[in-house]
């Protein structure tokens, strides 16, 4: 489980190495964009497109100075990882049922 935080939306290019690393290893991650004073110059969809993310990868905009918002981002990451794990288990069960093993 991991996250790929970006300091500011204008520095998205700094996220590419982390995104590439997590994708290469198959590690679930979300992208967290720190928007100081709730200033948001881009939507999550625009950020995901700019980073070339798969649609399933969550993008969260937040002000990292707000602890509660930071906790919400961690909860979202855990829910995302749990959902992927649940999907993988269901896939394994379907294969087992189909093969009878």
Each domain of the chain, given as residue ranges in start order, spans: 2-99
DSSP 78: H
Q: Which residues pair with 29 in a beta bridge?
A: 2
Tell me which range, 43-47, 77-81, 90-94, is most confidently predicted by mean pLDDT.
43-47
- pLDDT band at 49; cut points 50, 70, 90: very high
**Residue 93: pLDDT over 70:** no
User: Is residue 62 scored above 80 in pLDDT?
Assistant: yes
Using alpha carbons, list the distances in angstroms from residue 59 to 25, 30, 45, 91, 92. 19, 6, 8, 25, 28
Q: How far apart are CA 86 and CA 79, in angstroms?
A: 10
63, 37 in Cβ contact below 8 A?
A: yes
Average the pLDDT over each of 17-26, 39-48, 55-64, 77-86 and give the range with the smallest value. 77-86
3-state secondary structure (DSSP) of residue 87:
helix
Q: In which band, very low, low, confident or very high, does the pLDDT at 56 lie, cut at 50, 70 and 90?
A: confident
Average pLDDT, the chain: 77
Which comes out higher in pLDDT, residue 20 or 41?
20
């Amino acid at each position: 489980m991991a996250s790929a935080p970006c300091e500011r939306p204008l520095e998205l290019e700094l996220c590419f190495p982390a995104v590439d690393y997590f994708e290469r290893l198959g590690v679930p991650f979300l992208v967290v964009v720190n928007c100081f004073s709730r200033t948001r110059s881009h939507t999550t969809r625009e950020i995901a497109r700019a980073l070339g993310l798969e649609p399933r990868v969550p993008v969260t905009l937040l002000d990292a100075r707000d602890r509660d918002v930071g906790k919400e981002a961690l909860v979202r990451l855990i829910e995302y990882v749990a959902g992927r794990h649940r999907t993988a288990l269901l896939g394994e069960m379907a294969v087992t049922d189909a093969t009878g093993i």
